[in-house]
Amino acid sequence: MNTSDLPLHHLAAPLEANQAFDLANSVLLKPNGLSTSDLDHLFGVMHAHRLDDADLYFQHTRSEQWSLEEGIVKSGSFNIDQGVGVRAISGDKTAFAYSDVISAEALLKAANATRVIGPKGGMVKLRNPIIGQSHLSTSLYSHLNPLDSLKPPEKIALLEQIERRAKARDPRIIQVMASLAGEFDVVLVARANGLMAADIRPLVRVSVHVIAEQNGRRESGSAGGGARTDYGFFNAERIHQWVDEAVDNALLNLGSRPAPAGPMTVVMGPGWPGVLLHEAIGHGLEGDFNRKGSSAFSGRIGERVAAKGVTVVDDGTLSGRRGSLNMDDEGTPTQCTTLIEDGVLKGYIQDSLNARLMKMPLTGNGRRESFASLPLPRMTNTYMLAGQYDPQEIVASIDRGLYAVNFGGGQVDITSGKFVFSASVAYWVENGKIQYPVKGATIIGNGPESLKQVTMIGNDLRLDSGVGVCGKEGQSVPVGVGQPTLRINQMTVGGTA
């Protein structure tokens, strides 16, 4: 399996669990005059009402973004944000309050406001705090602040390097836009059952967008990537690879023709095209949609929902990956969860609320955008496992159809499973031979039905380069996607021809 070239040897040694807790304590509790005994007292206040669960989520985030356009770094931003979210749960009801001030007074107000979700007469629940993450031995990523790994002049030089490389590649490149972003997140979770756990989360990303012009026609190309690491990840080789990819895609599209339309065979390339799998299938396997019966996969565990050979997993344990986490935002360790195995539905991804109500095991997928958001069952790194076919053999099997190498935006209806996606790089294929690039191809289908139409699975599993962002109920979180080359026998392509 290619988990996409993440040489993280240049990083500091991963932080051990108790060290993570000590660092989080020094950033989030001590400066605000709080101790673990204060949190114990707070849970006692909350449990004067009958509650099924309660938790506290502390967060301190430092982030920055630098953007270059027309050869000039036109914008730069730096933010520090911190706060605490307080949640109380009774049955399937949730009360939530948050504060961007971390103090005993703010916590007490939030606790009194949220505990009313349950009736009075609960028992004061004495906690037995677990200091640190006793269930984790080491971290999946470094604990160093990536924002400090390059000086401002070096960050500007990195962006300027991107522009020089792009314009030197071809005189038809008339505009280059590039951005560099970094984030350093410190979180501390305390739960009513006594668990106390912390995580130190770095995240970096580079984005490249170019515009090419020829004979009055303009086309664009994009690329980029990132990881849970520091800016040292962006070495010259990796930057050149992404710049070349963006330029090549823009120049390719200059020669593209209108895409044919109608039902046809579609072959999807490896890597980022897995975003279609994420949207059309992954969201439908999230616990909340299935508990409420609103997913096309509701109540179907144990049934065949895909062709034989199709195995889909959600894996939050891949070292350094954008979608990876040591623990979810409820303190549960992440894991590799098999969702579909050889075409049979095996399970859903869960947060604590939906797992309890559905009487299913936790999977470490309770995620939130920030302390001001409720946790929801969300994906981490979601991908399909490799098969046995050579990718060239799969493309050669197309009589007349589309070979979609890269995807842009799309949307999906969770209830019906229907999706619409645009292909940003695609080719028309006849008699097993690539004929020409096409533009304007839209892939239209139904997630569960498309899975049943998979007839060839490549041996070239690839994960995306580290650019995925997932939106749900107004919250955005970083994710990873991936797949091998796939042949899907019958899909509808909306085109312009």
- Check if the beta carbon of residue 87 is closer than 8 Å to that of residue 54: yes
Cα–Cα distance, 366 to 330 (Å, whole number) = 6
Q: Model confidence over 75-110: pLDDT tens digits?
A: 899 999 999 999 999 999 999 999 999 999 999 999
Give the per-residue pLDDT at 497: 59
Cα–Cα distance, 98 to 42 (Å, whole number) = 14
Cα–Cα distance, 285 to 296 (Å, whole number) = 9
- Bridge partners (DSSP) of residue 190 are 56, 196
Cα–Cα distance, 409 to 33 (Å, whole number) = 46
Three-state secondary-structure class, residue 225? strand
Kindly tell me if the per-residue pLDDT of 373 is higher than 80.
yes
Give the per-residue pLDDT at 427: 97
Cα–Cα distance, 70 to 75 (Å, whole number) = 12
Which of 288, 265, 275 has its CA nearest to residue 365? 288
- Check if the beta carbon of residue 443 is closer than 8 Å to that of residue 266: yes
Angle among Cα 171, 175, 181 to the nearest 5 degrees reads 130
- Bridge partners (DSSP) of residue 177 are 69, 209
222 backbone dihedrals φ, ψ, rounded to 5°:
-135, 155
Q: Model confidence over 411-455: pLDDT tens digits?
A: 888 888 888 889 999 999 999 999 999 998 999 988 888 999 999
DSSP-derived letter for residue 116 is G
Cα–Cα distance, 88 to 20 (Å, whole number) = 26
Which of 247, 265, 216 has its CA nearest to residue 425? 247
Range list of β-strands (E), 91-238: 93-99, 173-191, 196-214, 217-227
Tokens, residue 49: 């009402």
> Rounded to two decimals, what is the model's pTM?
0.93
DSSP string, 450-464: HHHTEEEEBS--EE-
| Per-residue CA distances from 415 to 300, 318, 342, 398, 459 (Å) | 14, 30, 23, 31, 32
Give the per-residue pLDDT at 6: 38
Tokens, residue 282: 């992954």
Give the per-residue pLDDT at 90: 95
Q: Which residues contact 124 (CB under 8 A, 6 or more apart)?
A: 44, 47, 48
The chain-wide mean pLDDT, for the chain, equals 92
Q: Model confidence over 178-228: pLDDT tens digits?
A: 999 999 999 999 999 889 999 999 999 999 999 999 999 999 999 999 999
CA 18 from chain center: how many Å?
26
Tokens, residue 467: 């650019």
Kindly tell me if the per-residue pLDDT of 308 is higher than 50.
yes
Tokens, residue 151: 């000086």
- Check if the beta carbon of residue 437 is closer than 8 Å to that of residue 256: yes
Mean pLDDT to the nearest integer, 287-292: 96
Kindly tell me if the per-residue pLDDT of 127 is higher than 70.
no
